[in-house]
Amino acid sequence: MSGVTGDSNVLYGQPDHFSKEMKELINSPNYSDVKFYVGEDRTLFTGHKCLLSTRCEVFKAVFDAPVGDPEAPLILADIRPKIFHTVLEYIYTNSATITTDGVCDLLAAAVEFSLDGLKKLCNQFMRDYCDKDLVCEFLQAGICHSQDHIVTHCIQFIEEYTEDVFSSVKFKEISEHALRCVLQSDRLRIDEAKLIGYVKEWAHINAVVTGESMETVATNVIQFIRLPILDGETLSRIEYENESLHYIPLSMIAYAWKCHALKLSNPKDPLLRHRNPPDN
């Protein structure tokens, strides 16, 4: 005989009820044994080491090897209180109240505290709420925190709604790194001349903000515009504009004219490929 006297199975109660009760412990002084001073204003939070250390390896490491007085409050100056509250909400309830204006900071906190489940929730939220006004910000967060799924989703969204995104206010605030990623796409649904106009506007605004020249601001992104695929009249107009703005290297304009003169065609050269070809 095996000694087994009967079958067994794990049954679960209502998760919503459990989550609601656990939520009452968030920032509750009842039986708490750790304090946090959070943000610039040092907002006070209380917590329970047993829960925090069980759910978060970062907190476990801090509690297992305290520096100085183990009873001293922990200072978390670089995170907003609202975001830290959501981190605690996730740790205590396995759920999170996420907002469009806080999700990027929450993702950063999830990365900092190594909360993979919270990162997944942020990823899902960004996919569900991505629109023309948020996609640039979400893309930057995805790149900054190495969230490849978010980066891919945002690029695909921009490819589908290119002109809506490029004409949005938030596009003018997109980071250089994010813009480089976008401009390398072959599937942007926009005329190249219009695209160049949006990049020029981005460079102008950022030059004003930083106090640098348009040439300096555009250096690392302008190489991805595709001058050779423009018609001669448009290329002449852009060359004329560039004589005063100097945001496009003369070598790129010269290469474009060379391609026109020699009728060069090389699918391996991205500068010679039309974006979003009809057969795709």
DSSP of 180-213, one letter per residue? HHHHT-S---S-HHHHHHHHHHHHHHHHHHHT--
Q: First and final CA of the chain: distance in angstroms?
A: 66
Tokens 């005063």, residue located: 244
* Higher-confidence position of 5 and 201: 201
Give the mean model confidence (pLDDT) for residues 75-92.
97
CATH tag for 15-98 (out of 3.40.720.10, 3.40.630.190, 1.10.10.10, 3.30.710.10)? 3.30.710.10
Judge whether 107 and 132 are in contact, CB under 8 Å.
no
Query: What was the pLDDT predicted at 17?
Result: 87
Query: What was the pLDDT predicted at 68?
Result: 75
Residue 14 has pLDDT above 60, yes or no: yes
Model confidence at 280, pLDDT cuts 50, 70, 90, reads: very low
Query: What was the pLDDT predicted at 7?
Result: 84
Model confidence at 277, pLDDT cuts 50, 70, 90, reads: low
Strand order in the sheet with 34-38: 43-47, 34-38, 74-76
Query: What was the pLDDT predicted at 197?
Result: 97
Question: What pTM does this model have?
Answer: 0.89
**What's the pLDDT tens digit per position in 187-197?**
999 999 999 99
Give the mean model confidence (pLDDT) for residues 154-175.
97
Model confidence at 38, pLDDT cuts 50, 70, 90, reads: very high
Residue 67 has pLDDT above 90, yes or no: no
Query: What was the pLDDT predicted at 122?
Result: 98
Domain map (residue ranges) of the chain: 15-98, 191-280
Give the mean model confidence (pLDDT) for residues 164-179.
96
Average pLDDT, the chain: 94
